[in-house]
A and B are shown apart, each in its own frame.
Chain A
């Protein structure tokens, strides 16, 4: 008969848990999210070749819990791990313990042992410890902890099979009392007596042994969730509080400190018995690297170099190549195989002069030409004699939509590879360490620097890069503000406005970056103070893990997981939105009834004219500008092309030189800059919105982000335009009053004092 055996992997961050999970499951894994939080949930099936003989018929499921240092319910990861183990009750826990960092890793072990689940300890990185000359007496450790201890190295694969087969048999092992369980740590006499008294007072004595102890310990720590779960009446609560108070007075410390300190005291005792460290005369390799990399004077220059390299490769050179290939080649006209012949072809096109006669150069004459998907599909549909609207739908609607999803993937994968490397080698933690001081004032993490920087190239990988930020609050603020930075697709709009209205003035582009950075800084401060982000501040008490060289497999896997989650989670919304805007901009009512029409008569144009009054206070209430802003949601550079179409030009160059004069007449200088500001700051393109949805992983947060961006863009452009009017004309109009009120509100949000309940300021005072 086949059974399902569930093995949960629990351990500290950086303990090698994910490496073990990958070694155990190979490709049979599923990545999702724990309900209600953005914490990743990984589940997989044990590789058949690792199955112990007696488990041949069993279905062995491996659950990778988030890496935590403790089960105290203060971070989403800790809550998820604790709830899963206590409520879902897997058949056995494999507790991964880092041999090079035994003391802190065994702290979690003690808490896991209280859950009353079969458990084995897998001591990881034994190879590293042995190389250092450290010795671990496994048998003694097993005796002290009351459970099996297996040595292994997840990276080399040594001992992995043994660990899993030990775990499998621990799940079945039984003795007289039922399942064989690890021994929960004992505390000092005073605490133990208090725990017994709590059991009596709370009426826990009917519970099974392990539940009783865990409940008593949690009540002693004043864990609010435990009080709730046990539905204690106020009377009992008061009695328990009295017991705790007595113990605290007797031992002159608070209960939480007493428990943590005795857990660590017990660990020190165990480690003293089982662990023989080699003499630590010289610095380890990791220490020596860190002496340079986080050196007071060298850290920033080294960081700048690393970032420059990452940016240069993933955005400027290789990344741009990949994006151009995907967008203009695969999802455009086509490309030369291996790029052979492209430069000769481009040269020929440049030299080609239609007036002097001769044939237009054919790309196929210069190398092996692979036509793009739209071209291939177009030829196919033409050959099938499809209706014009269907061809349009398939090529300009659906294929363009798919292209918008997949076009960013190659560049994203390159960036994710770098991020995976920086994360798993240990440098990312140093980035947070180096940059923390600068960013924390704005509610951001030191790691937010990377998404923001990547955002100057493209907001889509920028938003996705925020995944490396642990704190949910800092990650959300980063996701909401990353796209304020002008990305490369916004540059054509910049060039258009600068050229058409400001005579190509030098200051237009830098001012847009300035507006972007100022928006991030102000938004960070504003958002951090709102009720959305108030409350739990994740403390910045961060481990700086030892440097190590990651395996290629792990890097590729992490790169692919993120890329795939973008395609899957962001793809649908991007595709649907693109098809929708394509449809509304190509269909409408004409004399012949409903059908395909020019954009000037489309549904979008009609809709644009009916809502253009919204933008009148910003100085650009024309339907053309409104429609351009909407098509900009497909891709920001579309704004330029749309103006071209709307002003009657069939095709325009990237900076839209053809429409400059028409646009110059259409806008006032103030209105044009306000239009620019709005388009830089409002909701980004659909692809970036898809990325935001993926990273927020919640519909509510997604709309909050989009709403905030649009609202912020509106208010900023409104204030700019209305105050600009006052300064240029010297007259006050009703709009001025509204803008002044908006500015007032903005300044209040920015500078209002905050009540830091449970925050640092108040806790420092109370100390």
Chain B
């Protein structure tokens, strides 16, 4: 299964669902990452983690570990 972690910089992917539990999962969804939304991966931080994505027209940073919870098509 593909997750956001595997999406290369500069590519856009559509979210299929969020795995995980509790506060982290809810936070990801509250920020607008829900089923069906498009996420554009913009860049990696200089040390290789976290990553910066554009979702719903704004910039968001996520750790790779958390990005692995976001399943994409």
Contact = CB atoms under 8 A, between A and B. Distances in A.
Q: Do A and B interact with each other, yes or no? A: yes
Interface of A: 69-70, 72, 74-75, 101-104, 107, 253, 256-257, 260-261, 264, 290, 294-297, 299-300, 429, 432-438, 440, 536-546, 758, 760, 763-764, 766-767
A620 to B, nearest CB: 42
B68 interface: yes
A762 to B, nearest CB: 8
B32 A541 contact: no
14 contacts: A69-B31, A70-B30, A72-B30, A101-B57, A103-B32, A253-B17, A256-B26, A537-B24, A541-B31, A544-B59, A546-B58, A758-B23, A763-B21, A764-B68
Contacts of A429: 61
B73 interface: no
Nearest to A70: B30
A257 B43 contact: no
Residue of B29, B57, B60, B62 most packed against chain A (CB within 10 A): B29
A726 to B, nearest CB: 40
A437 B45 contact: yes
A540 B32 contact: no
B66 A299 contact: no
Residue of B30, B31, B52, B56 most packed against chain A (CB within 10 A): B30
Interface in B46-73: 46-50, 52, 56-63, 65-66, 68-69
A543 B23 contact: no
Contacts of A766: 19-21
A264 B22 CA distance: 20
B59 A290 contact: yes
A167 B56 CA distance: 29
Contacts of B44: 296
Given A103-B32, A541-B28, A763 B20 contact: yes
Given A433-B52, A543-B58, A760 B17 contact: no
A539 B69 CA distance: 12
Given A256-B29, A436-B49, 18 more contacts: A70-B30, A103-B56, A257-B34, A257-B35, A260-B34, A294-B43, A295-B46, A300-B46, A429-B61, A433-B52, A436-B47, A436-B50, A436-B63, A437-B47, A438-B47, A546-B58, A763-B24, A767-B19
Contact of B21 (A537, A543, A758): A758
Contacts of A545: 59
Interface residues of B, number: 41
A104 B32 contact: yes
A763 B29 CA distance: 15
B39 interface: no
A108 to B, nearest CB: 9
B11 interface: no
A543 B34 contact: no
A543 B21 CA distance: 21
A544 B45 contact: no
Contacts of A257: 17-18, 29, 34-35
B27 to A, nearest CB: 5
Contacts of B52: 294, 433, 544
Contacts of B69: 763-764, 767
Nearest to A262: B34
Contacts of A69: 30-31
A540 B23 contact: no
B8 interface: no
A260 B60 contact: no
A296 B48 CA distance: 8
Given A264-B37, A296-B46, A758-B23, A542 B60 contact: yes
B30 A763 contact: no
A260 B66 contact: no
A541 B27 contact: yes
B25 interface: yes
Contacts of B21: 758, 763, 766
A475 to B, nearest CB: 17
Contact of B34 (A264, A432, A539): A264
Contacts of A74: 22-23, 26-27
Instruction: Please provide the 10 A-B residue pairs with the shortest distance between their CB atoms, ordered closest to farther.
Output: A767-B19, A70-B30, A74-B23, A544-B59, A437-B47, A539-B24, A763-B20, A261-B34, A260-B29, A103-B56
A69 B34 CA distance: 15
